[in-house]
Structure 1
């Protein structure tokens, strides 16, 4: 199992919309997340900084292939098209980065 933590910011004027979207996440999206071997997926919001932190556990054997499968899914692309306008990458994001993966420096079971 691989633990993944990522960070992103939320546009201040889109917080309510983002919360509403995730309170009513589409079943097809939830199914795709599971089909791509992701478990224990959680998104945290820190206000007033509007910082989003996501955590999940990847239980598959080919992370890149599963992420490509998710990215190619038309329903996932539609979901992203409504969520992405709510978000913005950190100022330190590299070209093409959106959610920025974080280094796993400590874990206790």
Structure 2
């Protein structure tokens, strides 16, 4: 009897941008030099991998890969995590949405325009 091979989950590549407040730059960089293991574990548990944040001037660019079933559900699970809530209480005051952000949007989603695999 032949069974079908397990199909790998598709990976979503997600990028977003936010502005770093200049007066909070050193604090933000210090926090991210030693991220909390509990926060990292939550991200991994929901299917986040290859997560990077880059800095250009006062813009933070985030890139991650998501391999779960629903990014919306994963975001909700991340937001329920008490360690992540405490992390955000420290990192959010360092940031402000970019010009043109949608109402209520914190990190603004970026549209993919090119991919080389």
TM-score (norm 1): 0.95
Name which of 3, 14, 20 aligns with 2:24: 14
Equivalent pairs counted in the alignment come to 107
Q: Deviations over 1:34-78 (max 9, x none)?
A: 01100000000002xx00000000011111111110011111111
Moved over 4 A (4+): none
Structure 2 stretches of 5 or more lacking a match? 1-10
Paired with 2:75 and 2:22, the residues of 1 have a C-alpha distance of 28
Q: Deviations over 1:13-38 (max 9, x none)?
A: 11110000000100101101101100
Paired with 1:103 and 1:11, the residues of 2 have a C-alpha distance of 24
After superposition, residues 73-84 of structure 1 pair within 5 angstroms as: 73-84=81-92
TM-score (norm 2): 0.89
Name which of 22, 28, 48 aligns with 2:38: 28
Structure 1 position 95 matched with structure 2 position 117: no
Structure 1 stretches of 5 or more lacking a match? none
Name which of 13, 23, 45 aligns with 2:55: 45
Structure 1 counterpart SS, 2:13: strand
